[in-house]
Amino acid sequence: AKMSRLAACGGLLLLAGIEMSSAFSMTLAYGGGSLRHSASGLSTGSSRSAGSVALGGSLQTKMMATDKDCDCTIIGAGRIGSALADMGKAAGFKDVVVKRGEPIPEDGSGPIYVTVRNDDLKGVIDACPASRRDDLTFYGQNGYIEDFLAKEKLDKSTSQVLVYMAVAKMGEKPTDGITDLNPEGLTSATGKWAGQVAARLKGAGLTCQVKDTKPFQLAMFEKHMWICAFMLLGVHHGGITVGDVESKHKDDLVQMVTEMMAAIADKEGTKFEAKCPERLLAYARTVAHFPTALKEFEWRNKYFLDITRAREAKGLPDLTPMHTKFLLKARDDGHVKFD
């Protein structure tokens, strides 16, 4: 989400359904090897599965993926990164928190949690030592990042986490974003470090489902539709809250999501499980006070506009006419910019 402004809703700052930590809200200053490191203590590998291997002429800790919690590196010291670090500290682990201007430790071990906004992902990846790129664990980014990861050649080797939790303020324990339709929780992880992610969250009393690639992609697209549809409808109806969209414009939401499902299915070959709109409405009820706005267009609604324009170029009908109509109006009204 929508943490570019770190907007609070009912005293809660949503960490996943909306935007990312402000710790990396500006362009990253990574590059040229000029990063400095002042994190409190590099991990000495208290992981249960660490071993030492020679790499580049130096002795380096190399760790196999584990289903248990372990020391890790956390990029970003905002509410998301701090929440993860607090979980690790409470469990006795020595995580390294990387703040702006600090390097990603080459001799670290365990997953590298990436808790920055989408626009800052490129800087993090470029700054990551090549030997550790497989440890990158993209945590809580909203929107469609698959093509970006594929371009960076990280789509097959890294881990991803769809995060549904809320934190009242820095340092407080996260609240799980479970719903009445999904009491088992909606947070999901996939990839090399999915088991470790689940262990850390469950150790803090939160839920996390470990999913294979295909089920995770399905969940990712549902979350993508949630952020795109609710934000656009909220703006279209005057900047109302997520809860007002759910309670007052449910029919619009169901129609828009149904159209989006068809577009995704046509492009990706994805088949959604029953009651997808109902699941999205249920999540909205858990974050009812959250405001709506159109942010990170390149990562969110542009996905559906690109499908529309590609089909139009082939003489095919628009599969998301409501989305297209409302998005163009939002542009005309100055809520979003695109050509």
Separation of alpha carbons 138 and 115, rounded Å? 7
Inter-residue contact 118 to 3 (CB < 8 Å):
no
pLDDT at 106: 94
Residue 170: CB atoms within 10 A of its CB come to: 12
- Which residue bears the tokens 């959604």? 272
Q: pLDDT tens digits for the chain (339 residues)?
A: 433 333 333 333 344 433 443 333 333 333 333 333 333 333 334 443 333 333 333 333 345 677 899 999 999 998 889 999 999 999 999 999 999 779 999 998 899 999 999 999 999 999 999 999 999 999 989 999 999 999 999 999 999 999 988 766 787 788 898 999 999 999 999 999 999 999 999 999 999 999 999 999 999 999 999 999 999 999 999 999 999 999 999 999 999 999 999 999 999 999 999 999 999 999 999 989 889 999 999 999 999 999 999 999 999 999 999 999 999 999 999 999 999
Quote the CA–CA distance of 220 and 186 in Å, as a whole number. Answer: 11
Amino acid identity of 127? Answer: A
Nearest Cα neighbor of 289 from 223, 222, 240 is 240
| Among candidate residues 184, 66, 73, 214, the one with its CA nearest the CA of residue 139 | 73
pLDDT for position 250 = 98
Rounded to 5°, the CA angle 261-263-265 comes to 65
| Closest to 270 in 3D by CA, of 176, 151, 146 | 146
Q: What type of residue is 35?
A: L
Cα distance between residue 216 and residue 219, in whole Å = 5
The answer, as to whether pTM is greater than 0.85, is no
pLDDT at 79: 87
pLDDT value at residue 237? 98
Smallest Cα–Cα separation from 159: which of 207, 196, 104, 208? 196
Beta strands 13-14 and 165-167, pairing class? antiparallel
User: What is the rounded CA–CA span in Å between residue 152 and residue 225?
Assistant: 24
